Structure 1
């Protein structure tokens, strides 16, 4: 069986107990095994209750986030870097307290379109800062998964190869890549080859369509992606991510430019996505088996 997750913004952008409960129940009912939340403020959410419900429903959890400009750990301003460090440490603690192991997203710099090119100083500051966060995260049993995003959402990590170089510079074993097919479709020369090249550094994967809507209705070559995942023996989560103006988070919707209503029925959307991913991976496995079979007459 495939390990398939879903982003909670498929269900709701809210964090009230009722909204979280509905998201958990929908996730469980449709056969997903992990739910990903954008960062939840422990002051607004009963973390102990949420951790308990995750255990009761046998759901894994991941937390994703993007650093704000005032918490950019690649900044030349030491106070901004210190604030970003605190944000990351709090996020690691949240993952730990929810019983999860994955913190993902834009963790190396601010999330959003930048107005200047990346400098070596910014790269080095980010690497040094994240390395220290990673040391503390390791004690908490948490991996830091660096999302590789398109040029309009970061000026630092736009390709898997850049992410590999960043991980190398950190020297940390619990810093990994968070690959997202939506972003890779924009930036990579070949998405399947990039997955193969990054194989041993990947910690988390987002599956999303080129327009953020129903899988298979855009331009992404998912067959090649599923083939690559099977080729590298990927056995961890692939998480479905989709956005529509049907559900709006005022911060993330602006940063990711969600201007169109690509779906209204999130149950139909998520059910289709689960079937699409499961069948895609199964088909890729069957193709790989056929390629390896040698039908020699006896």
Structure 2
């Protein structure tokens, strides 16, 4: 199968100043990736034009991602929080359109963090209500919305492919897909292959992240089986490497993500070896 490969810009850090953005985009292109996943910027602070020029200069495409916080949680009962979340999500759609990206994914349905309450049907309905409007904005701009389910410590609402598939179906928008992250799925699913099968035709984007968020192939994930499952469901979306190091992203971001010790330190080497690893496993899958 023909496969697009991406890499998260956070491999080189979360600074998106013009110099840092050019560095990350250039490094991703030099490593051989088809696209770079860019965290949604604040368009009132940063100029999307800098990103557009860097993407053009280095000849690489982009996707966009974000994660809501408790202050802008669209599943919350507080209308002000929901409004802030809808604004962030809508702005992410506009940023994607500005830079020519056709995908916005991530934790777009609730806050990314540990909840101190059980999920409710009302919270789910509030989230769906907002995301239907956000998806409509994306549809007008030619942007797909990806719903990335995460582990139990980072949301109380969507933790499995089955939950997320039902959520996407209930949203009823043709430009909404399941966004599967192997790090989270490895914690919550009986098997990654089964999760892929459950998502089926709804699966539109995949984060390739090792079970410990370190170097691909050094954890517990069976990548050959995963790639075979993707081929079986006709997956045609990007496989995007997501791995972070506290050495690169700094103390504040490391605490937010829970990266307590480094598993690698050279982002350029990590990018190159990750792509080589995935291509080798894909070749094995095709040959078998």
What TM bracket, shorter-length normalisation? Answer: over 0.9
Residue 81 of structure 1 corresponds to which residue in structure 2? 82
1:148-171 alpha-carbon deviations (Å, 9 max, x no partner): 110011111100110011111111
In 1: Cα distance, 2:249 partner to 2:183 partner: 19
Shift of 1:250: 5.7
| Structure 1 residues without counterparts, runs of 5 or longer | 288-298
Residue equivalent to 1:257: 258
Q: Which residue pairs with 1:231 in the alignment? A: 232
Larger Rg: 1
Q: Which runs of 5+ in 2 are unaligned?
A: none
Give how far 1:6 is off.
0.5
Please list, as runs of the form range in 1=range in 2, the aligned pairs for 1:158-169 lying within 5 A after superposition: 158-169=159-170
Which residue in 1 is equivalent to 2:188? 187
Could you tell me whether the CA contact under 8 Å between 2:38 and 2:63 is conserved in 1? yes
- C-alpha root-mean-square deviation of aligned residues, in Å? 1.3
**TM score, norm. by length of structure 1:** 0.93
- State the Cα distance separating 1:251 from its structure 2 match: 5.8
Change (3 A) 1:132 1:155: same
1:239 partner SS: strand
Residue aligned with 1:198, SS: helix
Q: d(CA) in 2 for partners of 1:63 and 1:146? A: 12
- In structure 2, how many angstroms separate the alpha carbons of the residues matched to 1:101 and 1:203? 12
Alignment of 1:122-271 (within 5 A): 122-248=123-249, 252-271=253-272
Please state whether the residue corresponding to 1:62 is helix, strand or coil: strand
In 2, the alpha carbon distance for the partners of 1:260 and 1:135 equals 41
Distance in 2 between residues matched to 1:58 and 1:196, nearest whole Å? 34
Question: Is the contact made by 2:34 and 2:61 (CA closer than 8 Å) also made in structure 1?
Answer: yes
**Residue aligning to 2:30:** 29
Within 2, Cα distance between the matches of 1:236 and 1:146?
14
1:58 and 2:81 correspond: no
